[in-house]
Amino acid sequence: MAQGSYDCGTSTFPLLGSTIGEMLNEISGRYPESEAVVSVHQGIRWTYREFLEKVNAIARGLMAIGVEKGDRVGIWAMNHAEWVVVQFATAKIGAIMVNINPAYRTYELEYVLKQAEIQTLILQGRFKTSDYVGMFYEACPEAYESRPGRLNSEKFPCLKNISHIGEIPYNGMFLWGEIEEKGEKISTDELIAREESLDFDDAINIQYTSGTTGFPKGVVLSHHGVLNNGYIIGEGMNFTEKDRLCIPVPFYHCFGMVLSNMACVTHGSAMVLPYPAFDAEAVLQTVQNERCTALHGVPTMFIAELSHPDFEKYSMKTLRTGIMAGSPCPIEVMKEVNRRMNMSEIVIVYGQTETSPGITMTTTRDPVERRVSTVGKVFPHTEIKIIDPNSGKIVPKGEVGEICARGYMVMKCYYNNPSATHATLDSNRWNHTGDLGTIDEEGYVKIVGRLKDMVIRGGENIYPREIEEFLHHHPKIADVYVIGVPDQKYGEELMAWVMVENGETLTDEEVFEFCRGRIAHFKVPRYVKFVTEFPMSITGKIQKFRMREVSIKELALEDASLIETA
């Protein structure tokens, strides 16, 4: 009888049974003079003692303006030191922090303010072409005529407090410094009493998934899920108080907030912020100047760093580890990062927002081949199974199916969205990821694509990831993504979007020739499009649905796209 695709991560250490605030108090007491936050672009350096003082001051300030346990506090900002303060201050007082995507515009902001029933909004000013204050006033014009803390909006009945990160006074908004000053009215004993009233199973965070259709869903996460996921991540990278992590990934996403911030704080490591948004040269400068030992990023970030014309000017000798995650990691890119960036212990994490986010991870002890060709083994204290998406039955080891996960890290629900919750979490609390993968006899997991990404060409099931990995071996290809486009004869055909290495030229015929005789004929892309960038979300996730939309229009495949299929 074939062994089923089920595994459960064992561990030599227990889960942490504390709240995020309790953990911060402990770590700050253990490493008071170690650097906690270094924001290069703000000129900020805080030790863990100073960081705890900042967190407690804002926590008391939020209490002073009326934030209660369970209230939603939205934060709409790029990577600033204040973002990290809000993350831990809200956790200390039991408020639910709502991460708002900095790429959102007025319409999307309105949706989140309503859907999450946000009572307090903390926002930054302008960044490049994004005027956050202006967009907020556009969404809520009555705030302009309101006194701070006294907002009365028919459109946003829950919203009462607005705070600006900075010292520029805006109508209807508290200044950041005013929040700290108001906190002086709240005693240390009152803050401690609030902290002691909390439970580690309490909801502490809402993160919005970037769905491809319809409005995003608000994923509700707990102290227990976020704290332990970050802790296990840090353990997987062998973090200590001596590590310094360069964080170019956005805080609003699980990658930045948990895999980066929480992994650091649970181990007393330093969070180093190079710039408000991703900038390849700022990352290279920061790694060198701050002597960072670790670096996080999605594949497109590492590709941009490696291909930067001044890459060789910067020393990467202090780097040791880090994470490449967020989207499928090309094997050849991983090898380049190992070799050219000195990241011999880089790991891959696989997961999703609904699982806080990590499910599987490679480790620094895994053979290099395993670290570049799989997403590792299931996390400690986590269950995983791979099922036939039609029957729901566990498939034999090595067979492709949908990845499901269960354990401490699974979300509580989608906020105010029971139908979506029931569609993702089954009656046995298994989270259905929608990702297709395999698990081998040694427990290593491979991702082969999304249920919705799978291309069916003339009855053949084709996984784009396999073809992408193959094309990455072409010496002139820097990056590539494969999608399915409609076809009247076969139902779907393959199309490759190709980014060519700097200074190289490539033709579609060369791509076809590279494939012929080396992969099955039905896996050879029918179409090739050369691009200098890919459509992606702010977190670096490739938006294949947008690639498909553009391709259908450019290839005049509208008629084929209207053909109904079973």
SS3 letters for 64-88? HCCCCCCCEEEEECCCCHHHHHHHH
User: Do 176 and 50 have their domain in common?
Assistant: yes
- Clarify whether residues 312 and 375 are in a common domain: yes
Range(s) of the domain holding residue 122: 20-199
> Contact at 8 Å (CB) between 410 and 381?
no
Domain boundary (450, 477, 506) is at 450
Q: What are the helix (H) ranges across 297-448?
A: 299-306, 331-340, 368-373, 418-424
Q: Do the Cβ atoms of 323 and 350 come closer than 8 Å?
A: no
pLDDT tens digits, 136-180: 999 999 999 999 999 999 999 999 999 999 889 999 999 999 999
Kindly report the CATH number assigned to the domain that includes residue 404: 3.40.50.12780
Residue 228 belongs to some domain of the structure:
no
- Please tell me the distance from the alpha carbon of residue 508 to that of residue 548, in angstroms, as a whole number: 18
Residue 10 shares a structural domain with residue 40:
no
**pLDDT per residue rounded down to tens, the chain (566 residues):** 458 999 999 999 999 999 999 999 999 999 999 999 999 999 999 999 999 999 999 999 999 999 999 999 999 999 999 999 999 999 999 999 999 989 888 988 999 999 999 999 999 999 998 899 999 999 999 999 999 999 999 999 999 999 999 889 999 999 999 999 999 999 999 999 999 999 999 999 999 986 444 568 999 999 999 999 999 999 999 999 999 999 999 999 999 999 999 999 999 999 999 999 999 999 999 999 999 999 999 888 998 999 999 999 999 999 999 999 877 777 888 889 999 999 999 999 999 999 999 999 998 888 888 888 899 999 999 999 999 988 999 999 999 999 999 999 999 999 999 999 999 999 999 999 998 999 999 999 998 877 878 787 866 778 788 899 899 999 999 999 999 998 887 778 999 999 999 999 999 999 999 998 888 788 899 999 999 999 987 667 788 989 999 999 999 998 877 754 32
Q: Are residues 160 and 35 in the same domain?
A: yes
Name residue, tokens 């099931």.
461
Which of 137, 164, 199 is at the close of a domain?
A: 199
- Is residue 492 domain-shared with residue 544, that is, in the same domain? yes
Number of domains in the chain: 3
In a domain, 225, yes or no: no
221 φ, ψ (degrees, to nearest 5): -115, 155
Residues 93 and 32 in one domain: yes
Examine the fold and report which residue of 391, 424, 450 is the final residue of a domain before the chain moves on. 450
- Within a domain: residue 50? yes
> Residues 45, 174: one domain?
yes
Are residues 445 and 497 located together in one domain of the fold?
no
Which residues are within 8 A (CB) of 423 and not within 5 positions of it... i.e. 6 or more apart? none
- Angle among Cα 91, 96, 99 to the nearest 5 degrees reads 100
Cis peptide bond N-terminal to 357, omega within 30: yes
What phi and psi values does residue 319 have, to the nearest 5 degrees? -70, 145
| Alpha carbons 161 and 146: distance in angstroms, whole number | 10
Same-domain check for residues 184 and 58: yes
| CATH number, domain with residue 498 | 3.30.300.30
